[in-house]
Structure 1
Amino acid sequence: MDDTSPACRVVRPGDGYTGKQGLDYGAGVSAQSAGARGLCLHTLVVPPGGRGTAHLHEHHESAVYVLEGDSEMWWGDGLAHHEVVRPGDFVYIPAGVPHLPVNTGSTPLRAVIARTDPNEQESVVLLPELDALLDQRLRAAGPDS
């Protein structure tokens, strides 16, 4: 096989990174690690009480499979929609849809994330105005909501 032929790659767990969204990822398959051209696949761990920041992926779809832990996700315009996500759930996030994950459980949230962006962080757009909006909404709802 010559050097220009596509090749299978095994990517061993290695260093992780903190994404623009404020979440910690275990680096997996990506353009950087395997030469992927149309996808990335990483792991995610969110500690109890941890949360990302509101963001969207401009031109790329995401899929999440939850291995362990309970979480909540707000999504859509103004983060108007809310979902509870549990182990065994699959989550599909269309390109361009704002979302914000929160680990509301007492154990770490562990998940596998796939995206159609091989560079993963390239299409991330942070939406701090939605973070502030959700914080206001949660404060107004009180601690038991």
Structure 2
Amino acid sequence: MDTFRPGTCIKLRPGQTYAGKQGFNYFNGIAKETTGSQAICMHLLTVPPGGRAKAHKHATHETAIYVVSGSAIMYWGENLEHCMETSAGDLIYIPADVPHLPINTGTEPTQAVIARTDPHEQESVVLLPHLDALVP
């Protein structure tokens, strides 16, 4: 869908979802594929209780997350050796190429706004299956 006119503002209302490589369903958001954006992707994510991503990283792209509601933990690092607790109101920064694996360990859905410096929804996602077994 590369028929966007330069200089045109576009409004989206999340509705449709797509299955991400990471194992979650994402609401369609701002991306090259939906708006023609050139340097940013932003979408919404709801992680159900017990929901767990596959270990992954975003090659050469930074990620920013705002936790709207709920809570989760995120393992991160070359061998997922670090663990960060997150809850509503937290802003999280993930540098490019840093392996991570989020899990909703709570009893309520966790909702977040996610933005990356990759304009494509999934292009920079690199799965790291050798790390999945490192997290119980």
Q: With structure 1 as the length reference, what TM-score do the two structures score? A: 0.88
- Segments of 5+ residues of structure 1 without an aligned counterpart are 136-145
Q: How many residues end up aligned between the 2 structures?
A: 133
- Segments of 5+ residues of structure 2 without an aligned counterpart are none
Aligned to 1:40: 41
Task: Give the superposition deviation at 1:120.
Answer: 2.3
Aligned to 1:6: 7
Larger radius of gyration: 1
Aligned to 1:102: 103
Aligned to 1:30: 31
Check the 8 A contact 2:70/2:111 in 1, yes or no: yes
Report the secondary structure of 1:11's partner residue.
Answer: coil
* 1:21 partner letter: Q
Report the secondary structure of 2:43's partner residue.
Answer: strand
Residues in 2 aligned to 1:114 and 1:5: alpha-carbon distance in whole angstroms: 21
Q: CA RMSD in A?
A: 1.1
1:1-49 residue CA offsets vs partner (Å, 9 max, x unmatched): xx85421111122311110000111111100111100001100010001
Q: With structure 2 as the length reference, what TM-score do the two structures score? A: 0.94
Aligned to 1:91: 92
Q: Is residue 2:70 matched to residue 1:78?
A: no
Residues in 1 aligned to 2:5 and 2:24: alpha-carbon distance in whole angstroms: 35
Q: Is residue 2:75 matched to residue 1:112?
A: no
Aligned to 1:63: 64
CA distance change for structure 1 residues 39 and 48 in 2, over 3 Å: closer, same or farther? same
1:88-141 residue CA offsets vs partner (Å, 9 max, x unmatched): 000000000000000010000100000011112001000111101223xxxxxx
Check the 8 A contact 2:33/2:121 in 1, yes or no: no
Q: Greater share of helix residues, 1 or 2?
A: 1
Residues in 1 aligned to 2:35 and 2:80: alpha-carbon distance in whole angstroms: 34
Residues in 1 aligned to 2:93 and 2:31: alpha-carbon distance in whole angstroms: 19
Report the secondary structure of 1:133's partner residue.
Answer: coil
